[in-house]
Amino acid sequence: MDFKLSEEQQMLQDTAARLVRDAYPFEQREKFSGSELGFSAEFWAQLGELGLTAVPFAEDFGGFGGSGVETMLVMTELGRGLTLEPYLQSVIFAGGLIDQLGSEAQKAELLPQVAAGSLQLAVALDEPQSHYKLNDVQTRAEAVDGGYRLSGRKAVVIGGHSAGRIIVSARTSGDSRDEAGIGLFIVDPSAEGVSRRVYPTIDGRKGCELFLDNVQVGADALLGEAGNALSALRYQQGRAIAAQCADALGSMQEACTLTLDYLKTRRQFGVPIGKFQVLQHRMVDMQTELEQATSMAILAATVADAEDSDDRSRTLAAAKYICTRAARKIAEEAIQLHGGIGMTWEYNLAHHAKRLVMIAHQFGDDDHHLQAYARLMQVA
């Protein structure tokens, strides 16, 4: 197969790489992480100015009509630079939900703003008890005159502290784990009854707990049909998983590069420690894991925007499993080969390890996706 990038794809990758390299040195990242916003508003604006936030959207909404491959190119560079901006949550996941389920009026209002980088979105789907199950929803949406009343709690809403709109899953009918009866609602976080508890995550970003206390939303806040959102949620989470594999890939590539450079420069007994055969073997193991993850990230990108099917779901589950396993292996080996400096806060390798650990537990860990793959193989 020919894996060469087209001229346009190469330009896109070069643009993203140059922006991250110039605007996101590690020292600046630490300042962004410690700020009240938790990321760089200037960098987010630059993503919009260069059209990187417009990549996955149709030209009708100010986008470029990019596929999962173009998304992979951008996400890999963002992962390489350990960027803190909620690109995946806003552009890929939330933007994808609006693109798939939104009315023409909703798409015309929101998608051009997301594509331009002037509106940041977030998704509030997880709950304290849900543990990777999108159908485990206790937040309720009660139909009232002219709209809905939302009550409940959402957990680990990445980027929710700064989002202009948050897409919330809520149950319009049925029991807490029924697959039917789940709706999606666009919520203004400044609305009465909405509150947030903001906290830092392990990888330096910021998330929040979202509390909804009888929040009134209009009928136009509903995305798609009431109670019929689960299939779209699962489809768009698949796109987010493919993008996340690319994010992890960029971070793994950088971790391997840092480790190889360290082995070449750190000296012991008068020679670089990279001369020791046992360390060479461990470096080869890291590169092997990276090559497997690269192949699966590319495969995931090629099916990310394909029609929903068991085959697509199997591929994405396999990709997430392989990339999660590789991420953990590379993070652990990189720290081992560095020794004590690998855990130093001022050294960016430790932060790559934290990012890879965080990625391994978002949208399902390796056990979750291995079980999902096994179930899908039984029905193949």
Q: How far apart are CA 95 and CA 32, in angstroms?
A: 24
Do residues 130 and 87 touch, judged by C-beta distance below 8 A? no
What is the percent of the chain where pLDDT is above 70? 99
pLDDT (mean) for 93-120:
98
| pLDDT, tens digit, 9 for 90 and up, residues 168-186 | 999 999 999 999 999 999 9
How many C-alpha atoms does 283 have within 13 Å on its Cβ side? 19
The pLDDT value recorded for residue 2 is 66
How many C-alpha atoms does 354 have within 13 Å on its Cβ side? 18
Q: How far apart are CA 352 and CA 159, in angstroms?
A: 19
If you search the block for the tokens 């990339």, which residue do you land on?
A: 323
Q: How far apart are CA 252 and CA 360, in angstroms?
A: 12
pLDDT (mean) for 295-322:
97
pTM, to two decimals: 0.96
| pLDDT, tens digit, 9 for 90 and up, residues 2-58 | 678 999 999 999 999 999 999 999 999 999 999 999 999 999 999 999 999 999 999
352, pLDDT greater than 90: yes
The pLDDT confidence band at residue 380, using thresholds 50, 70 and 90, is: low
Q: Measured between alpha carbons, how far apart are the two ends of the chain, in Å?
A: 25
Rg (CA), the chain: 21
Find, among 240, 235, 238, 266, the residue nearest to 342 by Cα: 266
